[in-house]
Structure 1
Amino acid sequence: MALYSFRLHCQRIDRTRNMARYYALSIQPTLFGEAAVVRCWGRIGKRGGEKSEVFASEMDAAVHFLELARRKRAKGYKPVGNCGNPPGSLAFSALRP
């Protein structure tokens, strides 16, 4: 069972470049007791891609989750709401400057 709830939904919108993208990250438990980082991406309003990466521990998954969140922040993605994460959680603050 997961100790922490990690979910993040962010967007990058640039009307001058006709860009409207979304990126979603979450950590989900697997059937075998591992943790998977699941990411979804694409154009807002369209079906996009999805990728899952499995880690032996939730800590390894959390480190990878936060690294992906930092990379997206550097590219200009901004969080949309808090996705149910408490305001002081690591997942919520990962994309804060």
Structure 2
Amino acid sequence: MSGFTTTRFECIDPAKNKKAFYTLSTGHGLFCFMLIRCWGRIGGRGHRLTKCFASEAEMLLEYERLCRKRRQRRYSLTD
């Protein structure tokens, strides 16, 4: 995924036995702007969903919406 920017969130709550990750990758594919979402339990394989957008502005709106949603659900940004 050369040329893609990746943002990773994690949510760890020992009381609830929760160890989750959520990754957003944005970039330009061959025919569209792409937003790739990966999520699952830390250490697991996880799930993946790719969505294409006609414009970069549409992709960035969805990216910002998903980042807000993760923060509301107590995920923290990791490097």
TM-score of the superposed pair, with normalisation by structure 1: 0.74
Please give the alpha-carbon distance, in whole angstroms, between the structure 2 residues aligned to 1:71 and 1:40.
14
TM-score (norm 2): 0.90
Corresponding position of 1:65? 63
Supply the AA of the counterpart residue of 2:70. K
AA paired with 1:25? L
Q: Deviations over 1:32-71 (max 9, x none)?
A: 1x10110000000000000011100111101100100000
Per residue, is there more strand in 1 or in 2? Answer: 2
Please name the residue that 2:40 is paired with.
Answer: 42
Q: What letter corresponds to residue 59 of structure 2 in structure 1?
A: A
RMSD over aligned Cα, in angstroms? Answer: 1.1
Asked if residue 26 in structure 1 is aligned to residue 37 in structure 2, the reply is no
- Structure 1 runs of 4+ aligned residues shifted over 6 Å read none
Counterparts of 1:30 and 1:71, CA distance in 2: 25
Residue segments in structure 2 that go unaligned for 5+ positions in a row: none
| Structure 1 unaligned blocks of 5 or more | 82-97
**Pairwise CA distance, 1:6:** 4.0
Aligned residues: 76
